[in-house]
Amino acid sequence: MDISSRTVFLNIIRFFFLIFFQVLILNNLNLGGYVNPYFYILFILLLPFNTPKWLLLLSSFLLGLGVDIFTNTIGLNAAACVLMAFSRPFVITIISDAPDSLIGDTPSIKNQGLKWFLYYVISMVLIHHFALFYLEIFRFSEFFNTLLRVLLSSAFTIGLILICEYLFYYNRK
């Protein structure tokens, strides 16, 4: 495990910033009841490729739990984040030509290109949002209404992630 102390520090700052940004700003947006942006999952998306699986799962659980504590959602975000983190290595393997073809330490448009990054983000956001919204509603009578919420919220979240990627990460270095 050759993760630099700078990378660890930046990820700790990102962890807390994204929780507070989600809880204080994004959770207070009212976009018709169908669009709920969950931008905090950017933390999981941008973790280095060589993050040990146990650390990936633990940090994802703590991220979701942090949001759950502030929003009183009793483990829904934690469960969705752990599922997302569990799925991450499989998604990366499926969308990559070969594990050795991954460039750089972290997933990004600059390192992997727009097409790869879009596949990655769309897959991961949909996994998270499906788990979160269907656990929240926990009944099939609202299936299509919940599906609409998943798709609209996913589109909005993916848009925020792409804007953030271009503003903060694409031009760096």
What residues are paired with 35 via a beta bridge?
31
CA distance 54 to 169: 26
| Assigned architecture for domain 5-169 | Orthogonal Bundle (1.10)
What pLDDT shows up at residue 126?
98
Q: Collapsing DSSP states into helix, strand and coil, what is residue 43?
A: helix
What pLDDT shows up at residue 7?
86
What pLDDT shows up at residue 1?
47
Q: What are the 10-residue block averages of pLDDT along the chain, 173 residues in total?
A: 78 96 91 88 95 96 97 95 97 82 82 93 98 92 92 96 86 54
Q: Identify the helix (H) or strand (E) that includes residue 111.
A: helix 109-112
Domain boundaries, the chain: 5-169
What pLDDT shows up at residue 60?
98
